[in-house]
A and B are shown apart, each in its own frame.
Chain A
Amino acid sequence: MQSVIEGRVYKFGDNINSDIIIPGRYLIYIDRERLGQHAFEMLGEGFADKLRSFDILVAGRNFGCGSAREQAATAIQGLGIKAVVASSFARTFYRNAINDGLPIVECPDLFADVAEGDRIRIDLEAGTIELAGKHYAFPKLPESVRKILELGGLAAYLQTQL
C-alpha cells in the first residue's frame, strides 16, 4: 500500500449497501478480477466500466452497510479503485476493507466540497486529504491496523505471525 494515493473521484450518496456493491449471486467468487466484473451491476449496464475510469470513491454516510460480505471490498479493488473516502462506514465494511488491503478514510468534511471528476490527494501518513489546495484532516488509523493495510491485508499479516 502506498501512503499517498492520488486520483479522480467518483461520488456516491449515503447508505450504499454491500448488495449494491456486489450482488449475493457472485459470492461464489473471491478473486478481484471476477468480482470487479460484477461490481455495482444493479446500478445498470456499463456502470462498472464507468467506475474503472476513476481512482477513488467518495461517499456519504454508512458506506458498505448491510451484509458482512467481504467481497464488497474485493470487488471495489477489482475495479482498480485505490481508496474509499466516506463520511462514515458501516463497521463490517470498514473491517473487511482493512482485511482486504483496501485503504479507507473517514472524512465527513470532504463530502460537501468534492464533485465527480475532482482530483484529490490522500496522505495516509499525514492524515490529510488535499482538494484544490485545501486540506482536510482525518483521524489516522491505529498503527496495528495500518500494518495490516501495508502488508496488503489480513491474510498476508497472518502469514507473518505463523
Chain B
Amino acid sequence: MTIAEKILAAKSGRNSVMPGEIVEAYPDLVMSHTATWRSVSVMQKIGATKLYDPNRLAVVLDHISPAKTEKYAGDQQISRNFARKNGVTKFYDVDSGIAHLVLMEAGHVVPGDLIVGTDSHCTIYGSLGALGTGIGYTEVASVWITGKLWLKVPASFSITLQGGFAPGVCAKDLMLYLIGTLGADGCGYKSVEFYGAVRDLSVSERMTMTNLAMEMGVKCAFVPPDEKTAEYLNGRLEDASRYCPVSADADAVYEREIEVDLATLEPMVACPHEVENTKPIGDVAGTHIDQVFLGSCANAKYEDLVVAAGILKGRKIDPGVRMIITPGSKQIMLQAMNSGVLQTLIESGGLVTNPGCGACAGDGGTLADGEVCLSTANRNFIGRMGSSKSSIYLSSPATLAASAIRGVIADPREFLR
C-alpha cells in the first residue's frame, strides 16, 4: 500500500484499502481557523451540543487577525467562547500565526495522522508524513460531532527528485515548475509522494512542497518521514511514543511515476491569474511591481525570511516598491527578531506586520486598480489581494528579495555572484 492507503486503512479500522474505495475514517485532528464560528453556527442550527472528542479539535484564529471590523470581532468571539466552553486546549488566538505552521510547531502533527481542516492547504501536514486535506465548515461541524467522515481512497503518484538545486533555486521553484508542467488539476484527486533527493531538503522546504502541491489538485501529499522529520519533531510531541512513521510498501502501486532533475531547474514565476501560468524568470524579468509580499503558509517560515534577508542585507529596496513581511508564526517572528533577520528586513525598507495569513487572505496590503504584487504565497487568482484590475505574480523568497531591490521582477542569481 501507499502512504495514503495505509493511513486511510488504519483510520477506518481496515487491514487494507484500494484506490476508489470509500471509507469511513476517524481523523486524529480537526483544524478550524477563522472559519470556526461558521461550524459553531451549524452546531447551533441543528441543536447539537456534544463533541465527539474535544482533544481532537484545534482552533487557530489566523485569517483577518486581529479583528479588523466589528463583524470579524464578533465572529472571533464566537470561536473563542466555543473553544473555552468546550475545553478545546489546542486553541491559538490572534497572536499565534498561521494555523498550519502553528500546529506543526506545537507538535500537534504526527507522522501517520489523518488531519482535516477548513483550509485547502492542509496538504502541508504531509511534510511531516501526516495525511492532511481540506473540507468545508459544515463538514468540520460534522466531524466535531460524529468524529468521522467519508473519504475516497485516492490513487497515488510518485515524484522522484534527482540531483540538487543550482544556487538561487529552491523548493518553490520546483513546485511552480511542476504545477506549470502538470497543470492545476494535473494531480486532481491524487495523493502525491515525493522521493529521491527530497531527503536532502529541509523540513521547511518540504512544507513549501506539500503546501504548493495543492495547486496541482492533490488530495494529499507526502514526504516520507526520515531523520530530518524526527529531528524536527524531537521535543515537540506531547507524547513521544506517538512518533510512528508510515512508509509505503515496496510493492505499492503508483498510477504515475514522475522524475525531475533538480539541477536543470531555474527560478520560476507564476503569472496572473492562475498558478499554472508559470514562466522561467528570464521570460518575466523586468516586469514592473508596486508591492512585494513575503508571507503565507507557503513561504513565510524562518528559513524563507533568512533567504530574503541574505539578499537584502546592506541593500535598500527600490523606493517605488512597498515590501510587506508577515512572519508565518509568532515563533518564527521571535526567531527572526533574535537573529537580526527582522532588523535586516526592516532596514532594507520592509514593513513587518503581525504573524498570520495577512495580505494573502486580503488582510492589509490591498492592491489598487492596475497595481502589481510579487508574492511568496500560493495563489495569484484575480482579485485575491484587492482590485479585480490588479495582478499577482508568485515566486520564491529569493526572487522576491531580488525584485524588491531592482523595483522590477528580477533574477535572484544576480545577487549570488
Residues of chain A at the chain B interface (Cβ within 8 Å) = 14-15, 17, 19-20, 23-25, 27-28, 30, 41-44, 61-62, 65-70, 73, 88, 90-92, 95-96, 99-100, 142, 144-145, 153-156, 158-159, 161-162
* B388 touches A (CB below 8 Å): yes
Leading 9 A-B pairs by shortest Cβ distance: A70-B136, A68-B134, A62-B185, A19-B381, A42-B383, A68-B120, A96-B136, A159-B46, A42-B388
11 A-B pairs (CB sep. < 8 Å) = A30-B41, A62-B184, A62-B217, A66-B379, A66-B381, A68-B118, A88-B185, A91-B188, A92-B136, A158-B42, A161-B146
Q: Which of A15, A20, A25 contacts B184 (CB 8 A)?
A: A15
Contact assessment for A24 and B362 in the assembled complex, using a CB-CB cutoff below 8 Å: yes
* B93 touches A (CB below 8 Å): no
Contact assessment for A154 and B383 in the assembled complex, using a CB-CB cutoff below 8 Å: no
Nearest CB in chain A: distance from B190 CB, A: 10
* B47 touches A (CB below 8 Å): yes
Q: Which of B15-53 contact A (CB under 8 A)?
A: 22, 35, 38, 41-42, 45-48
Known: A20-B381, A91-B189, A142-B22. A68 touches B136 (CB 8 A): yes
Known: A95-B139, A99-B139. A90 touches B362 (CB 8 A): no
Nearest B residue to A67 by beta-carbon distance? B120
Name the residue in A15, A96, A161 with the highest tally of chain B Cβ atoms < 10 Å from its Cβ: A15
Residues of chain B within 8 A (CB-CB) of A161 are 146
* B303 touches A (CB below 8 Å): no
Nearest CB in chain A: distance from B371 CB, A: 15
The count of A-to-B residue pairs whose CB atoms sit within 8 angstroms is 119
Contact assessment for B71 and A159 in the assembled complex, using a CB-CB cutoff below 8 Å: no
Known: A27-B35, A42-B382, A159-B47. A154 touches B185 (CB 8 A): no
* B95 touches A (CB below 8 Å): no
Nearest B residue to A73 by beta-carbon distance? B136
Q: Which of B246-289 contact A (CB under 8 A)?
A: 274, 276
Complex Cα spacing A30 to B78, Å: 15
Complex Cα spacing A144 to B261, Å: 44
Contact assessment for B362 and A62 in the assembled complex, using a CB-CB cutoff below 8 Å: no
Q: Which of B35, B46, B276 contacts A155 (CB 8 A)?
A: B46
Nearest CB in chain A: distance from B380 CB, A: 10
Nearest A residue to B150 by beta-carbon distance? A144
Residues of chain B within 8 A (CB-CB) of A99 are 136, 138-139, 142
Nearest CB in chain A: distance from B278 CB, A: 14
Complex Cα spacing A89 to B315, Å: 46
Contact assessment for B46 and A162 in the assembled complex, using a CB-CB cutoff below 8 Å: yes
Residues of chain B within 8 A (CB-CB) of A19 are 379, 381-384
Contact assessment for A95 and B135 in the assembled complex, using a CB-CB cutoff below 8 Å: yes
Contact assessment for A65 and B384 in the assembled complex, using a CB-CB cutoff below 8 Å: no
Known: A24-B361, A65-B185, A158-B141. A91 touches B136 (CB 8 A): no
Contact assessment for A90 and B381 in the assembled complex, using a CB-CB cutoff below 8 Å: no
* B347 touches A (CB below 8 Å): no
Residues of chain B within 8 A (CB-CB) of A28 are 71-72, 75
Q: Which of A67, A95, A158 contacts B145 (CB 8 A)?
A: A158
Nearest CB in chain B: distance from A115 CB, A: 23
